[in-house]
Amino acid sequence: MEHDENNEWLAAQARVDRARGLFQSGKLEEAATEIRRALATDPERGDWHHNLAVTLDALGRHAEAMASYERALELVPNHAHALIGAAQGSLRSGKPDACIKYCERAVRIDSSMEPAYSLRIMALGMQRKHEDAESVYFLAQQYLKEMPLCLAEMATVLANQGKYDRAIWCYRESIAQSPKLSTVKTRLGIVLLKSGQPETAHQVLLQAFREQPGDSATMLALGTTLEALGRTAEAQEKYHHIIELEPANSIAHIRLGDLALRAGRLEEARAAYTLVVSLGVRDVPIRLRLVEVLARLGMRSEAKRHLEELFLRRSESTEPTFTDASIPFGAAGAALDCGTPEVAVRLLRTAAATHPKDIRVLRRLARAAFECGDRKLAQQSARRALRLNRHCPETLHNVALDALRHGELHRAAAAIRRGLLHAPSDEGLRKLRLQVIAAGAVEVARTVRTRIATIAGRIRWLRW
């Protein structure tokens, strides 16, 4: 009996050894099968559970991998590599606190294990605990001679704070310590672009692309850099290359749609954004770009349907935020064209809060508020726009039109005079001036008739 058990254990160990070779040759499914069969013989082997977790992670089956890491730690609580795997799984599933706890346990077992520090820096960065992340970075320096992963993660934390110079130094130092970190080169290229160095970013990203020619993140960053350099045809080529490799890559489709929209190729932009939405992307800015394109193509009923789904049929009270004011600006114009000025007001109020000095947003907000009948908001927005440009003809035109509609002819005339003084050929103001003159003539005539009627009444009274 003991001999049979030994044979079974040896056979199980042989399966694990065979799985290691299969893993190294890229046959991951077969490797996972061999390890499972070995575990059927001896389910109490924590190291085998760890091997299975690593294989499942490589297959992209992260939830199953996390379960295997946890089982490994139940059996071998001080398995440092299993702790790191569990930390990565926690971070991937959006649990930074759990990641930090796993890393702290790993450090107590092996203080020279760099991932235990780098993952903590990443987790703290996700929580915006920047000072704590920096403390972990300095702690790692006490135990590690070289720390390329920690440098890279610290660089990301700094970049997210807008500290681009320090981030660039950390990225470069990380690459100097470990030149094969192509993903770090991609991240360096992105930060160089954000810091206003597109030419340098292009050189770094080209190097990363040569090392990883099929990496979509690198190609996307390279495409963005080419756009910044004005080489839109080459950028478009990169995005098409990504789609050839990954047909469902929504970001590449979005970039192609944006290029088409800026170039005025509306049908092409509509096709790209429609495809992105069909892929399940529910990002509000993308839906709003589609709305803008549909409205400009004259497909107003479809544009209105999207707007109603986004704003009029939703129960959420929170409004989306926008880093780029052109998105709510364009969508608000579409909302006005579709007869939904209340949606335009919602979009533009949010945009005006985050972009208070964008005169285009304030002008359009004033117009949308006028159309909604919110005269107070309209006047406030117009005043804010005029503080940015005292002689803005579009704003003065709207102010004059509002005054004319409410019978305030002197105020309307003053706004028109002010606008024509600095834009004498503005067609809108000149037409509005004629309307004010005509309204003034009608008012004068009405006043004359009223006075004549009053005088005639007095005469009749005297005769009586």
What pLDDT, in 10s, does the model give residues 215-226?
A: 999 999 999 999
pLDDT of residue 425: 85
Residue 422 located in a structural domain: yes
pLDDT for 156 beyond 50: yes
**pLDDT tens digits, 394-428:** 888 888 888 878 888 888 788 888 888 888 888 88
Whole-number Cα distances in Å, 307 to 66, 273, 275, 310, 337: 41, 15, 18, 5, 12
- Closest to 46 measured CA to CA, from 20, 21, 27, 69: 69
Q: What percent of the chain has pLDDT over 70?
A: 92
Domain count, the chain: 1
pLDDT of residue 332: 86
- Closest to 285 measured CA to CA, from 264, 249, 260, 257: 257
Rounded to two decimals, the pTM is 0.76
pLDDT of residue 106: 94
Residues 40, 15 contacting (CB under 8 angstroms): no
* pLDDT grade for 314, boundaries at 50, 70 and 90: low
Residue 431 located in a structural domain: yes
Residue 159 located in a structural domain: no
Residue 456 located in a structural domain: yes
| Sign (positive or negative) of CA dihedral 166, 167, 168, 170 | positive
Question: Any idea what the Cα angle at residue 168 is, between residues 167 and 172, rounded to 5°?
Answer: 120
Whole domain around residue 451: which residue ranges? 401-464
List CB contacts of 188: < 8 A, sequence separation 6 or more: 155, 168, 171, 172, 175, 204
Mean of per-residue pLDDT scores for the chain = 87
* pLDDT grade for 339, boundaries at 50, 70 and 90: confident
Residue 443 located in a structural domain: yes
pLDDT of residue 237: 95
The arithmetic mean of pLDDT across residues 353-379, rounded, is 88
Residue 107 located in a structural domain: no
Whole-number Cα distances in Å, 300 to 330, 342, 345: 14, 16, 18
